[in-house]
Structures are given as C-alpha cells and as structure tokens.
Amino acid sequence: MKIDKLVGDRFKEKPSDCVVDSHALMLRGGYMKGVANGIYSSYMPLRRITRKIENIIREEMDAIDGQEVQFPVVMPASLWQETGRYESIGSELLRFKDRNDIPMVLGMTHEEAAVQLVRDYGNSYSRYPFMIYQIQTKFRDEARPRAGLIRVREFTMKDAYSFHTSQEDLERYYQICYDAYNRIFARCGIPDVVTVKSDSGMMGGSISHEYMLLTPIGEDTLAICSACDYRANMEAAESIIENEMTGESAELTKVYTPNIHTIEEICDFLHTPLIESCKAVVYQKNMTDEYVVVFVRGDLDINETKLTNYLGEGVHPAVITGDCGLHAGYIGPVGLDSVKFTVLYDKSLQNTHNLSCGANEDEYHFTGLKISRDVGDVDYLDLAKIIEGGICPQCGKPAIRISRGIEVGNIFQLGTKYTKSMEMQYLDSEGNLQYPIMGCYGIGVGRLAASVCEAHHDDYGPIWPMSIAPWHVELCCLRADDAETKAVADGLYQSMLDAKVEVLYDDRNIRPGFMFSDADLLGIPVRVIVSPRNLKEGVCEVVTRDKEISEKIPVEQVLDRVQAIICERLK
Amino acid sequence: MKIDKLVGDRFKEKPSDCVVDSHALMLRGGYMKGVANGIYSSYMPLRRITRKIENIIREEMDAIDGQEVQFPVVMPASLWQETGRYESIGSELLRFKDRNDIPMVLGMTHEEAAVQLVRDYGNSYSRYPFMIYQIQTKFRDEARPRAGLIRVREFTMKDAYSFHTSQEDLERYYQICYDAYNRIFARCGIPDVVTVKSDSGMMGGSISHEYMLLTPIGEDTLAICSACDYRANMEAAESIIENEMTGESAELTKVYTPNIHTIEEICDFLHTPLIESCKAVVYQKNMTDEYVVVFVRGDLDINETKLTNYLGEGVHPAVITGDCGLHAGYIGPVGLDSVKFTVLYDKSLQNTHNLSCGANEDEYHFTGLKISRDVGDVDYLDLAKIIEGGICPQCGKPAIRISRGIEVGNIFQLGTKYTKSMEMQYLDSEGNLQYPIMGCYGIGVGRLAASVCEAHHDDYGPIWPMSIAPWHVELCCLRADDAETKAVADGLYQSMLDAKVEVLYDDRNIRPGFMFSDADLLGIPVRVIVSPRNLKEGVCEVVTRDKEISEKIPVEQVLDRVQAIICERLK
C-alpha cells in the first residue's frame, strides 16, 4: 500500500497528556485516536499489529489444544449473580439494564460465561481435560485509565479457561500454558518478560503468576530478590521483619503533644527514628463502614490487598468523624476499644519496645510502648508492604529490590470457585459427582502492543519486531519527481507486491527529512531507500529501523536481500 | 483434532423454540449455546466458520483498498448527539451511564465513530477517496430476537465507510463495493443472493441496496418482478394502482350499520368487494401522540415505512379514546377534521367512486363516496404496500411477486448527513470548504453463517461449502476396536496433519450410525471412512456431504484424492 493513502495523521509534537512513550508515539504515529476516557479507535497500522499479535496468540493456544470459542460482550447479570461477583465486584463492572429492564453487565472477564458454555458438556470425567479460549473485546470501567493502551477501559483480550479433574492435572496444564506464554512474549519481541507470583484478587483461587515487562513506567510494583529467583507482585510479597529488642524497656509515658498529628511529626518532636514508632492506619469496611485500625511500624506502609484478603472484604481509607470514638492523629493501641473497632497488628511490631504511639486522647501520645506488656498477647499479621532492601521470603537475605513492571499476561489456578458456585459437576470413574478444577489465562492484546513499543523505541518512534510490525518493509522513493528514480522505485514496489512482501510505499514528493520522520514513527523494520545519488552506483540503501543493518545493495538484488532479512527475523 | 475432545454436545431432538432450520441445526450440532435472549456463545465449529467468513470478507475489503481499523464497542453518547441519532433512534440503541455518570451507548453501527476517526485526517481533497472498515462486535437491543443467528442482539459485523469528494466518485466506489459483495457471497457459497433496492431508514441517504438470500424463512418481504429485473424491499417498493371509474357515480348515502366496525364487515353487509371501499388506518405520532388518519383502498395495507418517511417521524398504531373526536369503526373522509388530525390519502383511492366508508358518526357508514366530489382536491400519496400481482414500477406489467428473504448485507449511499452534522470538512482544489460524501457497507458475520446453513442443509445437518467449513475433512474410523482398522485410520490422520489438511478425526469406539449422525451435524464437506470391510479390498470410502462424490479409493491414494477435492472446491 502507498503511504499517501494511509488514513491517519503523523505529527511531531508530543501530546501534552501523555505520560508514557508508547502512548505519545502511538498518537503521534497515527496508530490510534481517543474516543472517550480510556477508549480508543485504532487506525490501520495498529490494527495490523494487533491482528498479528492475535494470530501469534491463536497459534500458541491452538498448539496446546485450545479450542477457540466466543463469549458475548453483553451478559445477563443473572450469570454473575450465580458466582456472587455481581455483588462483590466494584464499579469497574459496568452494569446496566436492557430495554426489558433486565440487568446486564459488560464482560470484563468470562469465567461465568466459560462455565455456562461447558456446564452441560463437562458431565463426565472422560471429557476432561479441555481448554477453551476467545479473543474478544472486554470492558472494564477503570476509575483512572492512563498511559494510552497500558490501562484502558475497552480492550481486546485473549482469555482462556481450562477444566480438569484433579489438581495434578491442572498443575500439569498450568505449566504447559506457562511455557506457551513465554513463547508468545518471545515471539512478540519481548523475551525478557519475567513471571512473578501474584495475588489472585477477585479471581479466586490461590496460585497465580503475572508476566511482567520490567520498565520504570510500569503500573505494578514488584519485589525481586537480587540473591535468588524470588519474584512477586508487591501485593503478594510477604513482608518479613526481624526485630530485636535492645536495651532496657522504658515505661509507658504519656506526653503532651499539641498540634502533632502524624507519626512523622511525633518522631521529629521526640527526636526518634520512625522505626521506633507504632503508626495507626484506619480504614472502613466497604459494606458496613465499620472501622478497622491497623497498627504497623512507623516506617512501613499497609498493603491493602493483604488487608482485604485477611478481612475477606473490601475497605477504603476511613473518614474519622468527631463522634466515632477515634481521636484522629492520636490513635494508639493502649486502651483502644477492640470490641467496637477491628484492631489489627502487623508483624513489624512483633518483638518491639520503646515505641511512640498515639494515646487515644487529643493532644497526647505515649512513649515507651511495649505491646506485649501494655496491650497483652495479640496476633501479628502480615499486612505491611515489602520494602527495598527487605528480607527475601525465599532465601532470607536482605536483598529485595523494588521494580516496576507492566503486567502483559496472567495465569491463575482457580480451583473450584466457579464450578461450585455455578453447579458444574461431572461423574468420576467411580460414579461420584465432582466439581471440575479450573485454570484461567489472560493476555491483553493492546497492552501487549504498547508494552512492545515501550521496550523497543527511540525518540523518533517505535522499533517494531518483524513478527508484529504493521508492514515488513517501507520503500522510500527520495525525489519522486525524478523519473528514473521513480521508475526504479515503482519497479521495486511491484516486485515486492508480486513476491507478497508486506510493503508500505512512500512515493510522495516531499523532503527526505519529512519522509524519514514518518518512517521512524511507523517503525517498520526494513527500509529500502531509492535515491538518484545511490542509483548512480546502481544501488539502493537497505537499512533496518534498529540500525543493525545498513547496506548498499545492487537494485536487482534488493528483493532477495529484503526477503532474507524478513525470513531471518521471523524465525 | 479428535472429535472426542471437541467441546460441545450434539443431539438428535429439535429444540422446541426453534422456528428455522439453521437455528435448530446449530444448536443440535454443538455450534452455539444461548446465554440470554438473542445472545449466544459460539463453540469451536462455529468460531472456525465465522473466522473463515471474516477472512473472506477481509480479503475482499483489502482488495478494494479498504483499510482495516477498529472502533470501540462502547461509545460516549456525545458522539451520537452530534448527529442527533442519540435522540432519534429508539430503544434498540442501548444507552447507559458509566461510573462517572457519563452517558454512553453500545455501538449498533459506527458512522459516528468513523467520522470521528477521520474528521481531522480528511482535511484536504488530495486525501480522498478512502475506505475504512472493521470487523467487530455490535449490540442492537432488538425487541424480538428470533431464528437463532438470523436476528440476534449481539453480533459480529463487518462495517465499512467510504469518503468521497463527489457523488460521481461515491457512485464509482459504490459499484466496486457492490461487486465485492457479490464475490463475498459467492465465495461463502451463496452466489444466488439477489440485490434489492431498499429504504435507507435511520441511516439517512437515498440510494441503498440490500443483498437478499431468498428463502421462505426470511424476515424481509421483497417485491420481485417476474417480467423484468425490478427487485425491491417491500418497504421501498412503489405501489402502483391504476383505477378506472366505470358506470355511474352514485350519490353519497348514509347507511345505518349497527355493530359493524371493520371494512370487511361493511363490505360483507353491502355485498360489495373490498376494492370498492375506503379504509381508514389510524396512527399516532411517537413524539406528540397526534392522530394520523390514512385512507387507503379497502383491499390494501399501509406501508409504515413509507408513512414514517413521508411524515419525517415515527408513528405507532393509534389508541382511539372516547373524547378524541374519532369514531372508531366509523372513520371516513367526509367531514373529518383535517385541522385537528393529519389526514392522508393513498394513491389507490385516486380516480375512484362508489366506495363505502365510515361516516364519522357511530353506527353509520356512507356508500357512494367519490372523494373528488365529496371531499375535494386532495393529494394522493404512495403509502400502500405493494401486492402480489401488482404493477411493476419499472416495466409496468402486473407481474410483481412477493418473496421472502434474509438480508445478508447492505450498502448505502449516505450523502453528507454525517459529515455535515459532525462538521467534517475538507478544502477542495479551489480552496473552498466542502463536506465529504459517504457510503457505508455492512455484512453480519453470524447471520451470513446461518444463511449459508439455511441455503445448504438437509434433515440431518448443514452442508458447509468448503470455503467456510469448520474442517475440510472428517476421518471416520469405524470399529476403532479393530487394531488394523485403527492403525490405518491413525496413519491417514497423521498423513493429513502432516499435509496440513484441516481434519477432524472420529476414532471413538461407537456405532457407525451414531458416528455418521454426528458427522452429518458437523457438515464437513469430505468424509473419509475407514472400515474393516473396505480394508479387505484395500480401500477407503471418500464421500462428500453433498452426495456429489462417493468413491472407493485405495488407501495410499486417499490423501491425494482428498486434497484434490479440497483444491477443486476452494477454487
């Protein structure tokens, strides 16, 4: 195709609302256009990229015996009521009513639909295992869409669901899928994706992994051990704190601390480090607004996912009212009403003394807190976020590094959460009714495209890997007003078309700088430049977008050379 | 793939709620499963069919310079407010609010999104013409989904939008697209699809065509001339009535007609044919509930589409209240308040006399009505439905036949309705701002699959054309418990896999009748049967689902023969 007919504008200026490179480059390169907050239309170059990604995913899913199916985008709420997720998921699940006032949802994931599809089929052990998948549009009403295709509301996703008659068989297949995912990311040009253990969150189940592309612009925070192979999502990483009580235990002493409201202020005031304080973090349960007071060592933060998992329900930061019985800024463990409030202690407070903390009385704090003495025996829970330099839960060394990453895929062992709640059963070989065990496996197509762009770009545009590039070759005719040059370029274009090379032809009569900046934005791997100067020597320039190759090739050998490069890079 | 791992149940009994064969066969054959009213999930065989259809469509769209893009399923209402369709379309447009209370819609068509995508790009005449298309999920909240995939609420559609700088250029491209559509339907196995002129309805514009598969189960009614090539959707077909006044004009005479309320009853009572009566059909405008009284010859019916187009707004059958001034059952032209009510006359009443009609007085009718004498000069409009045996608007012969058809595609000349309302403009070569002219072109993928099934099936299942068949070959091993037979069948299976033949292998140890009824339901074009009896002669049976081929082929030649049949049929 010729670039002068390619719909979409390319431009130089970075749009002001872009915080990540892939977002800016995909807007600047005419890949996509915003339609609403977190909702985009794709132009042809991006659609070609996503189709190639979809085909790679499809091939790998088919290769592990996946059966492509299709679930609806719009589902009846009744299906989600069977599993309780209609109620338990927040407003990211878009709910509405159809013309007959029947409550419906937009699919943000399809466990319910998957079970509904195979509930009758999977009635005998002999039909297991099987895996079904789809590549389909999903909608998730994100509160804060951001970073272009990294976090959107509407997206295309491959979601796969496997069904098994034993945990062993699930684990066997989980490993197969784990490997297939690595192949997918490698084929798409990001072989360096790492897997981390993650929290299963609303999906249910226990073991799950996220595939992470490590990049500073990532939304997820990872704990990675530099001494062993431990990798975990911050949300799932156990925080290990080893305290040692040194010195004497001071007495619990009330101190007058007017106008001091934060743990930082009290430590400042007392000239003690944060590590010698006991901080109160207050939440409210989403359903009942009941207060939950979590105490943690002053230098640490609460991991809300761990807290939610422990409580078994969602929480939000508390609004502390005047009559609730809590003294904002002065909350502490001593004398706090543990019947009226849910009071929890993080493990970072175990084996400590001489802490400062609130005195549950306006304008007063305590010093010398020793929980075991002043409060008594309490349960210490893992509720804190793991920290840089923290202790690795696997090897025990203080070698945790905190990195950021984009989650490009995830795999979950779901167990029987969905099959039980939706009453999907099979007869085992002994004639007993059993619930099948599920796994599920997701990859967001658009996010993967953006991630590849994050991993492979320069200041001038994306550098697409051959496997997912919108076209393989960009043919640039410099000086289209020169008859001989144009004739040679036209001939090359036709020969490439005849050879079924995916070629984009730029024969616009424009300045080379303009032509090349367009080409950089399109990020096509191979560029063939036809110019009067080179033609004097009977050659064309064949260069690659990644600068690995820059050659002068006789005109009559250009097609062969280009095909060889494509072939080599598609291996 | 082996059939014993194919997810989905096949069964013999016709589901009770199926009124068309394709619906019943697609449920019985494990192609799909209902999720909600008019919403289905697809199993693998249907997904394979729809993907092949999508690829055929994609190839043909690419071949006419279409650029594949993707629009969102979820769009902001503001986009639809720009064109006024947010208000003008009824409840088939699904409206809802997102988490921030912003009104959104589910895309049922994408003219607005298409203009939004190219509004900035198309700013100069030099960028025209261009065509963009997508293959994407759509949702249309149908009041009465029916007939399986023929009329659903959620569906996959290819929708294309072309942009032009002149009506001539639109017409040129419209013809190119017209031909591409014929190729698509031919390649999918229904070359006998006919085109009919249609009403553009809510799409705006004037000239449009529907591609119709003629079948008694079709939802659309077509007027087809048996004397010339005139074909039109009933909604668009002009009704031509030629009346001749014979004999004397009788006087207008009031007749006491107690308990007579319908035009049939009055004609019965008077012993006159329906053709000698003037029927009143009463509607109310949707917006204002204002009454619209349409008079038409007693034997004809009103075409509500024509009426709606004439009025420029929607209507519904009237609820005639006691105080509205209309006498239900006795409404006639004479003395009817044409200020209070909109009163319209169909052309079928032109040049008539001696009609019976209501007298606008309870229990009284008139005979001897001659509108020109008793009412005066009125406008006669084309508001009636064309009838079987009616006059062809093209050749003038009374040769109209009424047929039914499924609309498998449509193409519209949209004009500037969308570009004007959405302020999309370009500079022409003289520097003047102009609105581009649009065409749009749709094909429903699932409906096309169902239509092919309607056109090609027998009592036992679909007979898929090679081009869209879920697999090309079904390999049946009769007596999988016989070691030699199984070994030969396994060998053939492997050789077909190696040759990349799309093969479904049935090596279940089941009765042949059961195996063949499954095979009939899957409708795979070529069947290879390996059985002990045939192996005694060293042959396999190669038969086609359409019964055209039934051969015994030596085992070692089976692969070649099968590949030859596939090749021949894919041409």
Token duo for residue A372: 């075991």
pLDDT bracket for residue A260 (50, 70, 90)? confident
B381 — pLDDT class (breaks 50, 70, 90): very high
Please tell me if residue B79 touches chain A, with a CB cutoff of 8 Å: yes
What tens digit of pLDDT does each residue of A182-195 get?
999 999 999 989 88
Among candidate residues B294, B296, B299, the one with its CA nearest the CA of residue B264: B299
Mark yes or no for CB contact A104/B36 under 8 Å.
yes
* CB count in 10 Å sphere of residue A101: 6
The C-alpha atoms of residue B415 and residue B550 are separated, in whole angstroms, by 53
Answer whether A153 touches B (CB < 8 Å). yes
pLDDT over threshold 80, residue B206: no
Report the amino acid identity of residue B431: G
84-103 in chain A: CB under 8 A from chain B: 91-92, 94, 96-99, 102
Report yes or no: B76 at the A interface, CB cutoff 8 Å: yes
> For residue A287, what pLDDT band results from cuts at 50, 70 and 90?
confident
Instruction: Give backbone dihedrals phi and psi of A475, rounded to 5 degrees, phi first.
Output: -100, 120
Cα(B299)–Cα(B369) distance, rounded to whole angstroms?
Answer: 16
pLDDT above 60 for B94: yes
CA A122-B460-B18 angle, 5° bins: 70
Task: Write out chain B residues lying below 8 Å of A5, CB-based.
Answer: 65, 127, 130
Q: What is the pLDDT of residues B208-234, one digit of tens each?
A: 899 999 998 888 888 889 999 888 888
A69 touches chain B (CB under 8 A): yes
CB contact under 8 A, A41 and B91: no
Q: What percent of chain B has pLDDT over 70?
A: 99
Interface test with B, best of A41, A101, A438 (most B CBs within 10 A): A41
Distance separating alpha carbons of residues A61 and A57, to the nearest angstrom: 6
From first CA to last CA, the distance across chain B in angstroms is: 25
Name the nearest CA neighbour of B387 among B303, B273, B277. B303
Q: Which residues of B63-101 are buried (b: 16+ CB within 10 A; e: fewer)?
A: ebebbbbbbbbbbbbebbebbebbeebeeebbbbebeee
> Which of B53, B117, B138 is the best substitution to test chain A (most A C-beta atoms within 10 A)?
B117
When the pLDDT of each residue in chain B is averaged and rounded to a whole number, the result is: 93
Residue B452: predicted pLDDT: 96
B433-487 pLDDT per residue, tens: 999 999 999 999 999 999 999 999 999 999 999 999 999 999 999 999 999 999 9
pLDDT, residue B200, reads 54
Residue A350's pLDDT band, with cuts at 50, 70 and 90, is very high
Mean pLDDT in residue range A233-262: 87
Residue B558 to chain A, least CA–CA distance (Å): 26
**Domains with residue ranges and CATH for chain A:** 18-207+406-454 (3.30.930.10), 253-381 (3.90.960.10), 471-570 (3.40.50.800)
Give the whole-angstrom CA distance, residue A514 versus residue A511: 5
- Rounded CA-CA distance A487/A473 in Å is 18
pLDDT digits (tens, 9 = 90+) for A370-387: 999 999 999 999 999 999
A50 inside 8 A of chain B by CB: yes
Q: Do A118 and B7 touch (CB under 8 A)?
A: yes
Confidence of residue B202 (pLDDT cuts 50, 70, 90): very low
Q: What are phi and psi of B476, to 5 degrees?
A: -110, 120
For the cut 90, the answer to whether the pLDDT of residue B235 exceeds it is: no
- Name the burial class of residue B378, with classes exposed (0-12), middle (13-18) and buried (19+) by CB atoms within 10 angstroms of its CB: middle
- For residues B86 and B80, is the Cβ–Cβ distance under 8 A? yes
* Number of Cβ atoms within 10 Å of the Cβ of B140: 20
State how far the Cα of B315 lies from the Cα of B164, in Å rounded to an integer.
34
The tens digit of pLDDT for each residue in A59-98 reads 999 999 999 999 999 999 999 999 999 988 888 999 999 9
Percent of the residues in chain A that have a pLDDT greater than 90, as a whole number: 78
Is A48's Cβ below 8 Å from some Cβ in B?
A: yes
CB atoms within 10 A of CB A255: 16
A-interface mutation test, from B7, B48, B157, B424, most A Cβ less than 10 A away: B7
Distance from CA of B232 to the nearest CA of A (A): 31
Distances (CA, A) of B302 to A4, A224, B278, B305, B569: 51, 74, 13, 9, 47
B residues 119-138 near A, CB within 8 Å? 120-121, 127, 130, 132, 134, 136-137
B36 touches chain A (CB under 8 A): yes
Residue with tokens 């947010």: B86
Q: DSSP string covering B278-322, please?
A: EEEEEEEETTT--EEEEEEETT--B-HHHHHHHHTS-EEE----T
> Hey, are the CB atoms on A35 and B65 less than 8 Å from each other?
no
Spatial distance between the Cα atoms of A92 and B384, rounded to a whole number of angstroms: 50
The proportion of chain A whose per-residue pLDDT surpasses 70, expressed as a percent, equals 99
Residues whose CB falls within 8 Å of the CB of residue B67, separated by 6 or more in sequence, listed in order: A6, A7, A43, A44, B130, B131, B132, B133
**Greatest CA separation for chain A:** 95
pLDDT in tens, A389-435: 999 988 999 999 999 999 999 999 999 999 999 999 999 999 999 99
How many CB atoms are closer than 10 A to CB A556?
Answer: 11
Count the residues in chain A. Answer: 571
Work out the number of other CB atoms within 10 angstroms of the CB of residue B413.
Answer: 23
Question: With an 8 Å Cβ cutoff, are A117 and B43 in contact?
Answer: yes
For B158-190, how does the pLDDT look when each residue is reduced to its tens digit (9 = 90+)?
A: 999 999 999 999 999 999 999 999 999 999 999
Distance CA A470, CA A503 (A): 9
Report yes or no: B522 and B504 within 8 Å, Cβ to Cβ: yes
A42 contacts B7? CB cut-off 8 A: no
What is residue B558's predicted lDDT score, i.e. its pLDDT? 97
pLDDT of B204 over the 80 cut: no
Measured in angstroms, the CA of A471 and the nearest CA of chain B are apart by: 13
Residue A31 tokens read as: 């890949």
pLDDT for res A202? 45
